[in-house]
Amino acid sequence: MKVSIQAVAVWGKTAPPHSITAIMITDDQQTIVTGSQEGQICLWDLSSELKVSSKEILFGHTASVTCLAKARD
């Protein structure tokens, strides 16, 4: 089965560079988190049909994001 995945940009006509260096999926399998070489963290919604859409982009790191971890309750 071929799955088509389409991301929707929320940042305008040109997306910021985002060379993925780390990836994580939440326990509920509804959000993907990616870290980038450019120091950004992006949150992506993942539907039950495996469609990915952009949710948020977080700026502020001054170095590459090379590791992601979940906080404990």
Amino acid residing at 34 = T
The arithmetic mean of pLDDT across residues 41-63, rounded, is 86
Q: Which of 68, 69, 7, 66 is nearest to 37 (CA)?
A: 66
**Structural domain boundaries of the chain?**
20-58
Mean pLDDT of the chain: 81
Q: Among 35, 24, 33, 31, which Cα is nearest to 63's?
A: 35
pLDDT digits (tens, 9 = 90+) for 29-50: 999 999 998 888 999 998 888 8
